[in-house]
Amino acid sequence: MTDPGAREKSKATREPKATREPKATRETLARVAFLPGWAILAGMTAAFALGASVPPRYRWIPLAASVVVLGLPHGAVDHLLLPRARDERPGRRWFASVGVVYAVLGGLYAIAWFTRPMAAFGGFIALTWFHWGTGELYPLASLAGAEHLETRGMRTATAAVRGAIPMGLPLVAFPDRFSAVAELLVRPFAGEAAGAGEAAAAGEAAAAALEPFLRADVRVAILVCICGLAAWTLAVGGVRARRMDAVRGWVLDAGETALLVAFFGLVPPVLAVGTYFCVWHSLRHVVRATALDARSTPSLSAGRIAPALRRFARDAAPLSAGGLLLLGGIVVAVPRSPGTPVELIGVYLVTVATLTLPHAAIVAGLDREQGLL
């Protein structure tokens, strides 16, 4: 005999933890997670559609800003995420475990950059695809309440689409910029005793390895795959949403997907990726982290986000500083030290890459904990 009360209870515990926030709290979180990103990306998309342009050197500003604003700090609370999601105290044991994950995964990946930089770059694109894609599930499913994402299949497909847009469309629309960034990231790792000639050769080797992806027919194929997957995922999601009478969440999903396609198709990639990193991916993750902090719930449910963000900034400060130290270490350790601001940002991106592997692993653990992955 199953007692209906028990069945109700088990249903309640199966519900992803992330959706347990009271409605008022969720609305505050959603406002902060969504509105700035929509406004800034839509504004920039419109400006570039109307022919705006930004001189190349200024396109790096958002990426440079991400060192202190949202970008690097968004990963600096990784040691607090899982214990808070499990209602445990984030003590020394958690800090040590997360430290080990960072040391092992980050360390191995750093070695890969020094030994096989081009493969490491390819891995970075794949990793970002996964991490930025799955990073969209919490805001969509838990904050926007997009019920068409209730099945694992829909969530997998949606994450694949959301990650493919920022990594694939810059290649499709701006192949030369894409390969220039690949060269920028790979060049400092040219052989131990590399002279300028050898470094240039490494850069050229990077460009040569990318060559097949830069061909017009291959890029058209990539575009067709991304748009086809997006259209198919949204079509299946739309049917589900209609059946569940949950069209609002689907409209948000479809609208965002269209905005992202237009944004990454029109805005120069260095500017687009940097902006997206700060005001979209990182902001959404920061909001998610504040939602896990029990001390922040009273002010959040009263519609106030500032105290929660201040608390986040305090939590994230020490390890953001740690990230900067690591950046300094990598700058010193690369065989060819960066000589210009842009080269310095290139080395920063490699630092971000090595930190992103352990960060993505921990966030994936949180996704599992919250029933999203």
Ligand X SMILES: CC1=C(/C=C/C(C)=C/C=C/C(C)=C/C=O)C(C)(C)CCC1
Give the residues lining the site for ligand X (CB under 6 A): 124-125, 128, 131, 167, 170, 177-178, 181, 269-270, 273, 277, 281, 352, 356
Nearer to ligand X, 148 or 359 (CB): 359
Nearer to ligand X, 182 or 291 (CB): 182
Query: Please, what is the minimum distance in Å from the beta carbon of residue 299 to ligand X?
Result: 27
Helices (H) and strands (E) in the chain, counts: 18, 0
Nearer to ligand X, 254 or 352 (CB): 352
What b/e readout covers 180-199, taking b as 16+ CB neighbours within 10 angstroms? bbbbbbbbbbbeeebeeebb
Query: Please, what is the minimum distance in Å from the beta carbon of residue 98 to ligand X?
Result: 16
Of residues 304, 347, 296, the one with CA closest to residue 324: 347
Phi, psi of 339 (to 5 degrees): -110, -15
Whether the CB-CB separation of 287 and 32 falls below 8 Å is answered with yes
Query: Does the annotation flag 285 for ligand binding?
Result: yes
Query: Please, what is the minimum distance in Å from the beta carbon of residue 101 to ligand X?
Result: 16
Q: How far apart are CA 214 and CA 137, in angstroms?
A: 30
Nearer to ligand X, 181 or 292 (CB): 181
> Strand, helix or coil at 78?
helix
Query: Please, what is the minimum distance in Å from the beta carbon of residue 288 to ligand X?
Result: 13
Query: Please, what is the minimum distance in Å from the beta carbon of residue 235 to ligand X?
Result: 27
Structure token pair of residue 283: 């902001």
Whether the CB-CB separation of 283 and 33 falls below 8 Å is answered with yes
Query: Does the annotation flag 74 for ligand binding?
Result: yes
Query: Please, what is the minimum distance in Å from the beta carbon of residue 58 to ligand X?
Result: 14
Of residues 322, 324, 350, the one with CA closest to residue 336: 350
Nearer to ligand X, 34 or 178 (CB): 178
Query: Does the annotation flag 79 for ligand binding?
Result: no
Nearer to ligand X, 277 or 312 (CB): 277
HSE at residue 202, side-chain half, CA atoms within 13 A, is 28
How many Cβ atoms from other residues are within 10 Å of residue 17's Cβ? Answer: 17
Query: Please, what is the minimum distance in Å from the beta carbon of residue 128 to ligand X?
Result: 4
**DSSP secondary structure letters along 306-346:** HHHHHHHHHHHHHHHHHHHHHHHHHHHHSSS---SHHHHHH
Q: How far apart are CA 113 and CA 354, in angstroms?
A: 9
Query: Please, what is the minimum distance in Å from the beta carbon of residue 53 to ligand X?
Result: 17
Query: Does the annotation flag 131 for ligand binding?
Result: yes
Residue 3 is classified by DSSP as: -
Nearer to ligand X, 40 or 270 (CB): 270
Whether the CB-CB separation of 124 and 353 falls below 8 Å is answered with yes
**DSSP secondary structure letters along 183-230:** HHHHGGGS-TT--HHHHHHHHHHHHHHHHHHHSHHHHHHHHHHHHHHH
Nearer to ligand X, 250 or 348 (CB): 348
Phi, psi of 58 (to 5 degrees): -80, -15
Query: Please, what is the minimum distance in Å from the beta carbon of residue 365 to ligand X?
Result: 16
Nearer to ligand X, 15 or 211 (CB): 211
Binding-site residue positions: 74, 131, 281, 285
Binding-site residue positions for Fe cation: 74, 131, 281, 285
